[in-house]
């Protein structure tokens, strides 16, 4: 059976219950025949160019993917929320005074859901997913992340495999001062990595792998960078304007450039998207390819402006920090 037909059958035939193995397949748009299919089906030349760029480079930029006025409203609501809870949020500040990244802030500030629901990139994602694109989780940043180059897949491993996109929304212009997003063009094509073998060097029993292992995370990301270097692939900064959206491939290596002016903000929101009904797993599954998993997402979905939002948990700040975040409305 052709891959596309099999994928369509998996989505349409979900009946709940049962376990499966995740086959490490590439998404249909990375497989033979994808260009011909896209050329035949996608009539809009701009959309076709964006899809082609995503396939070839591992990312694409959707200019003015979100209305600038909506970006200003979202930024204003965030700053007002931060001011209202100044004392409570003090414990979650970095040494420079900025907040740590905020997880699922859209559950507290509904305006952030609109950055997703009114995002023009959703039509592109719906086409590539062959299903409705949903908001799985989000991250809100007050400043640039300055993160090292990495892949998201160890923490966003799906069934079927690679049914995930990262969608980065700029609420302010980016430049060298406040730290642009960085990518390695072509880094999604460095070949498969023996995740199970990598994990076996750390764990005698793969069933003992936790859902988050700093050691395995670094092992995997180091191998990604090593392979990209071997292919002489170089990092590239992506400079965007307020309202622009960067969409990256599930296997795209990306990170944050150094911040040259720490006094400046770089308000932005990352939305992690999947097709509706697709479950997402973490490192305990990603690094144990023989582990059987449930075939359906265990969470329910809420509706917002005609789009589905996964009910994956309330807002939080700083992974693992205990606090009653429901008070920060």
Nearest to 279 by CA among 34, 3, 18: 18
Give pLDDT, residue 94.
87
Work out the percent of the chain whose per-residue pLDDT is above 70: 94
List, for residues 143-156, the tens digit of each pLDDT value.
998 999 999 999 99
* DSSP, res 127: H
- Using 50, 70 and 90 to split pLDDT, how confident is the model at 2? very low
Nearest 5°: the CA angle 260, 265, 269 is 115
> Three-class SS of residue 30?
helix
Confidence of residue 184 (pLDDT cuts 50, 70, 90): very high
pLDDT surpasses 50 at 9: no
- What distance in Å separates the CA atoms of residue 44 and residue 41, rounded to the nearest whole number? 9
How confident is the model at residue 13, as a pLDDT?
40
Task: Give mean pLDDT, residues 127-143.
Answer: 97
Asked if the model's pLDDT at residue 258 lies above 50, the reply is: yes
Read off the pLDDT of residues 43-92 as tens digits, 9 standing for 90 and up. 999 999 999 999 999 999 999 999 999 999 999 999 999 999 999 999 99
Peptide bond between residue 160 and the one before it cis (omega within 30 degrees of 0)? yes
For 93-123, the pLDDT digits (tens) are 988 888 999 999 999 999 999 999 999 999 9
Residue 129: pLDDT band by 50, 70, 90 thresholds? very high
pLDDT category, 321, cuts 50, 70, 90? confident
Which segment of 3-12, 42-51, 287-296 scores lowest on mean pLDDT? 3-12
pLDDT band at 7 (very low <50, low <70, confident <90, very high): very low
Fold of 3-8+20-314: Jelly Rolls (2.60.120)
Segment 297-313 mean pLDDT: 97
The Cα–Cα gap between 319 and 329 comes to 19
125 has pLDDT over 70: yes
Q: Are 136 and 206 in contact (CB under 8 A)?
A: no
Model confidence band, residue 17 (pLDDT cutoffs 50, 70, 90): low
Compute the mean pLDDT over every residue in the chain, rounded to the nearest whole number.
93
- DSSP secondary structure letters along 239-260: ---TT-EEEE-TT--EEE---S
Provide the token pair at 155.
């923490």
Supply the pLDDT for residue 51: 97
What is the per-residue pLDDT for 268? Answer: 98
């Amino acid at each position: 059976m052709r891959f596309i037909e099999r994928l369509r059958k998996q989505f349409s035939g979900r009946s709940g219950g049962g376990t499966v193995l995740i086959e490490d397949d590439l998404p249909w748009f990375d497989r033979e025949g994808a260009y011909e299919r896209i050329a035949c089906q996608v009539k809009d030349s701009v959309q076709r160019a964006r899809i082609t760029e995503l396939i070839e480079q591992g990312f694409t930029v959707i200019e003015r993917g979100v209305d600038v006025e909506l970006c200003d409203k979202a930024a204003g609501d965030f700053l007002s929320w931060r001011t209202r809870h100044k004392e409570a949020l003090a414990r979650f500040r970095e040494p420079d005074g900025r907040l740590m990244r905020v997880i699922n802030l859209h559950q507290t500030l509904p305006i952030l859901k609109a950055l997703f629901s009114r995002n023009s990139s959703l039509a592109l994602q719906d086409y590539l997913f062959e299903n409705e694109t949903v908001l799985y989780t989000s991250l809100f940043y007050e400043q640039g992340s300055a993160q090292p180059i990495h892949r998201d897949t160890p923490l966003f491993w799906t069934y079927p495999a690679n049914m995930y996109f990262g969608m980065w929304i700029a609420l302010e212009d980016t430049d060298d001062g406040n730290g642009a997003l960085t990518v390695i063009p072509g880094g999604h094509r460095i070949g498969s990595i023996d995740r199970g073998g990598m994990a076996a060097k750390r764990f005698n029993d793969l069933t003992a792998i936790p859902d988050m292992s700093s050691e395995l995370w670094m092992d995997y990301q180091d191998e990604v960078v090593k392979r990209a270097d071997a292919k002489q692939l170089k990092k590239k900064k992506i400079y965007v304007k307020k309202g622009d959206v960067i969409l990256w491939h599930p296997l795209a290596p990306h990170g944050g450039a150094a911040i040259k002016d720490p006094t400046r903000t770089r308000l932005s929101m990352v939305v992690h998207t999947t097709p509706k009904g697709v479950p997402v797993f973490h490192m305990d599954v990603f690094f144990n390819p023989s582990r059987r998993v449930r075939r359906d997402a265990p969470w329910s979905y809420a509706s917002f402006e005609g789009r589905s939002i996964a009910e994956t948990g309330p807002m939080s700040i700083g992974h693992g920090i205990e606090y009653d975040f429901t008070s920060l409305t």
